[in-house]
């Protein structure tokens, strides 16, 4: 609720913008609810009693590595509190920078776009396939069918409709464009991804919903044909790229929530992605 003072100021124009008055009303509303600011996390609406909650999203910054030069996000301060009574920025960015979703239409003509992905396919069980040791020895490492079979021997069958996430340890390199891209002297990128055989196996044998990686692309950096993208989106499935903190969630048993921004005609887009278990 708005206090009497803020309502009077809004009516009289006493140096307070409408937006500022509304901001004051919002603050008053929070203060009017006992304990609102101190509310502790409660049971997950997704899984009942919650044992864990982990953000899988990198903060979007103008320095976050983009796949290609010129695709970095840019921002400027458009309005300030000092001059206008409220603060906002203007961003210029492509849909595929930072932690984001590849919708089917990103690589497949006529494929579904960001606004067409449904909530039930954006809230799915997750499994994490750890290839960090392999990737540390070889930046061109990929998730193979053998890796998937080894995962199932240890952790059980990959559930139908899951998001299968690759943990390569690459997220730790995101502070350096050169390290994250792994660009060689010949200009070729070097970072891990999925093999196309593994993607096909997961689609055909496990009916997965999504693939996710902690790198710039579902395909390894050396890929010239983007076979994994074509196979996955051609099967009307979506991808998740530039994930963070995959080593902090269990290999199986988590639910991943993909808060995709529904850009009009979006080929995908930025998302707040988190896991709960």
Residue 254 included in any domain = yes
State whether 23 and 120 are in the same domain: no
**pLDDT per residue over 23-38, tens digit each?**
443 333 333 333 333 3
Q: Is pLDDT larger for residue 112 or for residue 48? A: 112
pTM to 2 decimals? Answer: 0.83
Spatial contact of 241 and 217, defined as CB atoms under 8 Å apart: yes
Q: Please report the pLDDT score of residue 43 as a whole number.
A: 52
Phi, psi angles (nearest 5°) of residue 201: -60, -45
Phi and psi for 153 in degrees, rounded to 5? Answer: -65, -35
Judge whether 76 lies within some domain: no
List of E strands, 137-267: 142-143, 163-167, 193-194, 210-213, 238-241, 252-260
The reply to whether 79 falls in a domain is no
**Region 153-167: what's the mean pLDDT?**
98
In a domain, 87, yes or no: no
Is 122 inside any structural domain? yes
Cβ 192 vs Cβ 135: under 8 Å:
yes
Among the three residues 9, 25, 40, which one is the final residue of a domain in this structure?
40
- pLDDT score, position 27: 39
The structure tokens 């910054």 sit at 61
- Let me know if residue 251 belongs to a domain: yes
247 and 112 in one domain?
Answer: yes
Which domain covers residue 133, as residue numbers? 100-276
Element of type H or E holding 154: helix 145-155
Residues 16 and 146 in one domain: no
Let me know whether 11 and 145 are in one domain: no
Domain of 261, CATH number, reads: 3.50.30.50
Q: What is the pLDDT of residues 131-159, one digit of tens each?
A: 999 999 999 999 999 999 999 999 999 99
Is residue 149 domain-shared with residue 233, that is, in the same domain?
A: yes
Q: Is residue 73 part of a domain?
A: no
Region 162-190: mean pLDDT is 97
CA of 196: how far to CAs of 61, 74, 164, 199, 276, in Å?
Answer: 31, 33, 14, 5, 29
- The answer on 129 and 253 residing in a single domain is yes
DSSP code of residue 36:
S
Predicted local distance difference test score (pLDDT) of residue 9: 41
Q: What is the pLDDT of residue 48?
A: 56
Could you tell me which residue, 27 or 89, shows the higher pLDDT?
Answer: 89
Is pLDDT of 262 > 60? yes
Distance set, CA 110 to CA 107, 233, 237, 240 (Å): 9, 10, 13, 20
Structure tokens at 214: 């902690």
Quote the tokens at residue 81: 């509190």
Clarify whether residues 264 and 167 are in a common domain.
yes
Query: Quick check: 96 and 102 in contact, CB under 8 A?
Result: yes
Tokens representing residue 98 in the block: 């930072």
Express as a percent the part of the chain with pLDDT over 90.
82
Place of tokens 């044992």: 51
Give residue 189's pLDDT.
Answer: 98
Secondary structure letter of residue 112 according to DSSP: -
Domain-located, residue 86: no
Task: Give 188's DSSP letter.
Answer: -
Q: Are residues 127 and 244 in the same domain?
A: yes
Same structural domain, 111 and 241: yes
Beta-carbon contacts of 106 under 8 Å, excluding residues fewer than 6 positions away, are 96, 229, 233, 239, 267, 268
**Is pLDDT of 77 > 70?**
yes
Quickly state the pLDDT bin for 50 (edges 50, 70, 90): low
- Domain shared by 30 and 104, yes or no: no
Rounded to the nearest 10°, the torsion over CA 193, 249, 126, 129 is: 40
Domain match, 108 and 231 both: yes
Q: Is 260 helix (H, G, I), strand (E, B) or coil?
A: strand
Give the number of domains in the chain: 2
Could you tell me if 149 and 229 lie in one domain? yes
């Amino acid at each position: 609720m708005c206090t009497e003072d803020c309502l009077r100021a809004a009516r009289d124009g006493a140096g307070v913008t409408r937006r500022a008055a509304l901001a004051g009303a919002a603050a008053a509303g929070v203060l009017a609810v006992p304990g609102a600011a101190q509310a502790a996390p409660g049971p997950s609406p997704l899984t009942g009693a919650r044992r864990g909650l982990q953000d899988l999203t990198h903060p979007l910054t103008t320095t976050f590595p983009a796949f290609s030069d010129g695709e970095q996000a840019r921002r400027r301060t458009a309005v300030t509190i000092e001059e206008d009574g409220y603060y906002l920025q203007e961003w210029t960015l492509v849909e595929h920078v930072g932690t984001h979703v590849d919708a089917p239409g990103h690589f497949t003509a006529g494929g579904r776009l960001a606004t067409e992905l449904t909530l039930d396919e954006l809230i799915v069980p997750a499994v994490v396939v750890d290839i960090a040791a392999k990737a540390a020895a070889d930046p061109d490492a990929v998730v193979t069918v053998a890796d998937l079979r080894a995962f199932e021997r240890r952790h059980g069958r990959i559930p139908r409709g899951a998001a299968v996430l690759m943990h390569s340890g690459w997220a730790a390199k995101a502070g350096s464009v050169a390290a994250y891209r792994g660009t060689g002297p010949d200009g070729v990128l070097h970072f891990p991804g999925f093999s196309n055989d593994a993607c096909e196996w997961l689609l055909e044998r496990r009916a997965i919903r999504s693939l996710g990686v902690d790198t710039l692309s579902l395909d390894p950096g050396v890929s010239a044909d983007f076979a994994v993208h074509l196979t996955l989106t051609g099967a009307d499935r979506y991808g998740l790229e530039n994930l963070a903190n995959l080593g902090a969630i269990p290999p199986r048993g988590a639910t991943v929530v993909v808060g995709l921004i529904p850009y009009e005609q979006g080929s995908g887009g930025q998302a707040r992605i988190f896991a709960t278990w």
